[in-house]
Chain A
Amino acid sequence: MASARSRMSRLRQLAAACLLLAGGPASAQSLTPMRGEVTSFSDVFAVRVFPSNPYPQRIRMEVRVYDQEFRPVEAQVSPAAFMLGSESSRPVTVVVPFDGAERRKVRICVESVPFPNQQTQIRAQICGRFLGQRL
């Protein structure tokens, strides 16, 4: 009996400990375009994407570039991190090196960044797929 009571008490303690605090305002994002092909005469190709925040609060965003296996690609992203106001979008220029290849497929991903002191337990990432081809 005492053992069962102790077990219930432990369960209650554990359940209470696992309650995650409610987060702050919700965040949302989108990315345009999500597909594209670029032809380039040089050793790099450039893509301009437009992350947007269609919802009613300002959010912080980061733009990152990955290859097909989601390994980071050393690309120039300008700007790579920024605050985006409600219902607005902004251009982000991504310059990707071919690294000696004739064509290169990359994913350009925009991720909303939780604000400090918020217990955000879900992150959102939207990735566009782009193909660069060298002439």
Chain B
Amino acid sequence: MFNGTVGATCALNITSPTGVLVPSGTLQSLSSRLSGGAAGVVTVTTTGGVTLSLEPTPSAVTVPAGDTTSTVWTPSYSVTGAQTIANTTTATSLTAAGTNVVSVDLTGTKTGSNTFVSGAYSATVTVKCE
């Protein structure tokens, strides 16, 4: 006789480690969700019973020297596969066993009359499974 127990497991595979941010027409938003942008992609394989989330604040944010105004950065994600989750910023329980494809997006927003300027922007988003 053989016995075994399968506990909660989670394997993350970063299949597309970089996203592409593009500016809106008003230059007040910089997002991977806009036309021409691209999300980062992570594959999550789980037995279920785990929670998927993003760090609410991106790390290693770099902006051009000419950008002196503050930006609100908002990571978000959506899931397809064993489970379907519409774009969200909050933690979600992965209850179904199987493989999911997680699209990770990032949006930067300026307030008031502030706008993004020419130059390179980058930030790192952490995907968490627990």
Contacts and interface: CB of A to CB of B under 8 A. Distances in A.
Given A18-B20, A26-B13, A11 B27 contact: yes
A13 B117 CA distance: 9
B120 A122 contact: no
Contact of A29 (B12, B20, B50, B118): B12
Contact of B130 (A10, A22, A30, A128): A128
B94 interface: no
B11 A28 contact: yes
Contact of A125 (B17, B30, B121, B128): B128
Contacts of A120: 14, 17-18, 124
Contacts of A14: 23, 27, 116-119
Contact of A123 (B7, B23, B124): B124
Q: Point out which of A30, A112, A114 has the most chain B C-beta atoms below 10 A from its C-beta.
A: A30
B9 A30 contact: yes
B20 A123 contact: no
Contacts of A128: 130
A22 B18 contact: yes
A26 B14 CA distance: 5
Contacts of A84: none
Interface in B1-44: 7-23, 25, 27, 30, 36, 40, 42-43
A38 interface: no
B127 A122 contact: yes
Contacts of B25: 11
A7 to B, nearest CB: 9
Given A30-B9, A35-B8, A121 B40 contact: yes
Range of interface residues on B (Cβ < 8 Å): 35 or more
Contacts of A119: 17-18, 122
Interface string A24-59: 101111111111000000000000000000110000
Interface string B59-92: 1000010000000000000000000000000000
Contacts of B40: 121-122
A54 B10 CA distance: 11
Nearest to A107: B130
B101 interface: no
**Residue from B10, B22, B59, B121 whose CB has the most chain A CB atoms within 10 Å:** B10
Nearest to A129: B130
Nearest to B36: A15
Interface of A: 10-11, 13-15, 17-24, 26-35, 54-55, 107, 109, 111-112, 114, 118-129
